[in-house]
Structure 1
Amino acid sequence: MHYEGMMIRPPSEANSILLQVTLGCSHNKCTFCGTFREKRFNIKKDDIIFEDIEFARNHCQRQNRLFICDGDAMIVPQKRLTKILKRIKDRLPWVERVGLYANTKSIGMKTDEQLKELHDLGVKIAYMGLESGDDHILKEIRKGADSAKMIKMGRRLKKSGIKLSITVLLGLGGQERSKVHATETGRVLSAIDPDFVGALTLMLIPGTELNDQYEKGEFKLISPEEMLEELGLMIASTHLSNGLFHANHASNYLPIRAKLPQEKEKTLELISQALKGNVELKPEFMRAL
C-alpha cells in the first residue's frame, strides 16, 4: 500500500482494509486538532489508488470492510469517487461495506441523487465530526459550520441510506460552557438522529491553537468528574429513535456503550455511581487518542 504520513480511522474500522485516497483534511482548521497539520490536502492519482486496490485483492481477502482515508474522502469529485467505488466493487467483490469521513462542506457539494449513488455503490457508513452543538463553541474552534448546517447535512446523509456515525468531544466547552455544550449537543444529536454517536474526551495536543489558549489561561480544562457530569447531561439531553451511544474510546475515563433510548436510564445510573466513587475510572496514564 502507498501510505503517506500519519493516518487515522474510526475505532470501528480497526479490521478494515485502509485505502488512502486523499491526503490530509480538506478543512484542517479546527483549533483542537493536530492530526493533519503536516499534510497539504490532496487527492491521490488514480493509478496509485488502483494499485492499492490490486494489493488488497491479493492480500486482504479476509477483510470484508474497507475504509477510505484520509480525513474527508467524500470531498472527492463525484465522477472520480464513483470510479474508485466501482473499481472496489469489481476487484474486491467480498467487501460488504465501504466507510469514509465526511463533513458538512463535502456533503453539501453532493446532490441527494449523488449521495444515493454513493450508497448504491457500497458506501454504507459515513463518519462526521459534530464536536459540539453549541454555535458559540463551533465558531470558537473554527469548525466551519453552525448547528443548523450540521443538522441539515446529517439528515441529508441519513436520507440517502448511508448510516451516520457522529463524533462529539467532551470537555470542548471548558469550564465556562460545559453545561451549554452538553445540552446543545444533545439537542443537535436529537435533531439529526444518527445511527451511532461516539463521544471522545478532549486531550490537548501541543502545537494546536486550543492548547496555546490553555497554556495562556484562556481555556480551562474541566476535571475527570466534570467530564462525567457533562457526559451524563449530554446523554440525558439526547433523544435517539434507535441509536448506539459510545463513549468507549481510549480517551474516555468511563467506557460506555448504550443503546438509546432503551438503556438511557441504566447508563445515567452508571455515571451517577461513578461520580459517587463506586465505579473505577480509567487512570490518566492509560488514556490515549
Structure 2
Amino acid sequence: MIYPELHFTGQVWRPPYEANSQLLQITSGCTWHKCKFCSLYYGTPFRMSPLSEVEADLKVIRQWQPRAHRVYLTGANPFALSYNKLMDIAILLRKYLPHLVSFGMFARVTDIAPKSIEDLKNLRHMKLDSINIGIETAHDPTLERMNKGYRATDILRQLSKLDEAGIHYNVFYLNGLGGKGKGVESAIATSDVLNKLHPCIINIVSLTVFPESQLYQEVVDGTYEEAPEIERLVEMRTLISRLNIKVNIMGHHISNTVPVIGALPNDKAAILHELDNAIAQLSEKDLKAYRNRIYHL
C-alpha cells in the first residue's frame, strides 16, 4: 500500500507544547532571513505553499486524522501571509476538519503590523487562538546589532494588538544574545516591556552559535564575544525576578545549562532559589563544556 505524503519542505519546527498538534505546512523558510544569530532555516529559501497544495494536504489529514482538533501551521513565520490569505486557509481548515477547535503558528513581530484589530478579531473568530513570537529581547541595541528589523516599541505596540483581539501568544527570549556584559541590560529592558503585556508563556532559550549563522564569523573574528555561562544564569535570574505578570516560564530547552520551569508568580521564589544555587555552585568550565556538546537545536 502506498501511503500519501504531506508537503513538507526544508526544516520543520514546532514548540514542545504543540507535540500533539497536527502539522500543516503553509510556508517554508523565513521571510526575513537576516537575523545574525539564526541558523534554523539555513539553506531554505522562503516559499509560500499554494492553496491547492494546502488543500491536498488537508484531504490527506481528513483521511488519516479526521477528528484532528488542533492544527499547527509550520514555517518560520506563516503569519507573514496577508489577512485574506490567512482567512482562506482558515476556511479550508474548517471545511476539511469539522472537529477543529483551534490552530496556531509562528510569527515575527513585523507580521502583525499590517493587520488591523478587526482583522485579528476575525482571525480569532476563525479559530486562530495562539501565536508564537521570537521577540528574542526588548533591548534595542541588541535588536539592532542582530538585524531583527524592529525595536522594543514595536514589540509593545504589536503584541498589545493581540491582547486586544483576544489572541493568545507565547514569546521566545534568547538568553545571552547581547553578548558579554549585556545580559542584565537585556533582561531589564525585556521585563519592562513584558510587564505591560500578557504573554501566556515565556520560552527561554540560550544563544548557541552555529557555523551556519552570520554571528559565527563575528565570534571567530573576535568582534562578538559570547556571554559567559554564569553571566547567562544571572541574566535569566534578572529577567524572572523582575516579571510581575501572571505567566508560565518554560526554560527547559536543551540550550539551557540549568533548566527551569514554572508558573509566575507562585513558582518565582523556587525558580530564583534554584538559579541562585546554580550560580553559586556550578563552574563556568563545566557549563561551557555542556554548550560545546550541543550540535543542533
* Contact kept? 1:182, 1:233, Cα under 8 Å: yes
Matched residue of 2:31: which SS? coil
Tell whether 2:269 aligns with 1:265: yes
Alignment counterpart, residue 64 of structure 1, candidates 65, 69, 82: 69
Matched residue, 2:137:
132
- Which stretch of the first structure deviates more once superposed, 99-108 or 272-281? 272-281
Unaligned runs of 5+ in 2: 1-5
Structure 1 length-normalised TM: 0.94
- 8 A contact 2:11–2:28 mirrored in 1: no
Which one of the candidate residues 120, 127, 148 is aligned to 1:115? 120
Alignment partner for residue 170 of structure 2, among 152, 165, 172? Answer: 165
Match of 1:231 in 2: 236
Aligned pairs for 1:30-49 within 5 A: 30-49=35-54
Q: Deviations over 1:127-168 (max 9, x none)?
A: 111101110000000101000011110111121111110001
Letter in 1 for 2:137: S
Which residue number corresponds to residue 3 of structure 2?
none
Q: Is the CA contact 2:181–2:227 (under 8 Å) kept in the aligned structure 1?
A: no
Q: Say whether 1:179 aligns with 2:184.
A: yes
Deviation at 1:211, TM superposition (A): 1.0
Residue pair 2:21, 2:72 contacting (<8 A) in 1 also: yes
Structure 2 counterpart of 1:277, which letter? Q
Distance 1:83 1:62 in 2: 21
Contact in 2 for aligned 1:23/1:42 (Cα 8 Å): yes
CA distance in 1 between counterparts of 2:89 and 2:60 reads 14
Q: CA deviation at 1:90?
A: 2.1
Question: Whole-Å Cα distance in 1 between the matches of residues 114 and 191 of structure 2?
Answer: 26
1:191 maps onto 2:193 in alignment: no
Contact 1:11 1:249 in 2 (8 A): no
* Displacement of 1:276: 2.4
Residue 5 of structure 1 and its aligned partner are, at CA, apart by 1.2
Q: Which amino acid aligns with 1:269?
A: H
Q: Which residue of 2 aligns with 1:100?
A: 105
Q: Please, which of 249, 267, 276 is the counterpart of residue 245 of structure 1?
A: 249
Q: 1:2 corresponds to which residue? A: 7
**Sequence identity, in percent?**
26
| Aligned match of 1:208 | 213
Letter in 1 for 2:264: L
Question: Which moves more between the two structures, 216-225 or 50-59?
Answer: 216-225
Q: Distance in 2 between matches of 1:87 and 1:14?
A: 22
Q: Is the 8 A contact 2:78 2:105 kept in 1?
A: yes
Distance 1:254 1:60 in 2: 38
Question: What TM-score do you get using the length of structure 2 for normalisation?
Answer: 0.91
Shift of residue 287 of structure 1?
Answer: 7.5
Aligned residues of 2:68 and 2:97 also touching (Cα < 8 A): no
- Runs of 5+ in structure 1 lacking a partner? none
Task: Output the amino acid matched with 2:21.
Answer: S
User: Which residue matches 2:88?
Assistant: 83
Q: Which residue of 2 aligns with 1:25?
A: 30
CA shift, 1:278, in A, is 7.8
- CA shift at 1:247, angstroms? 0.4
Q: 1:53 to 1:183 in 2, by over 3 A?
A: same
Q: How many residue pairs were aligned?
A: 288
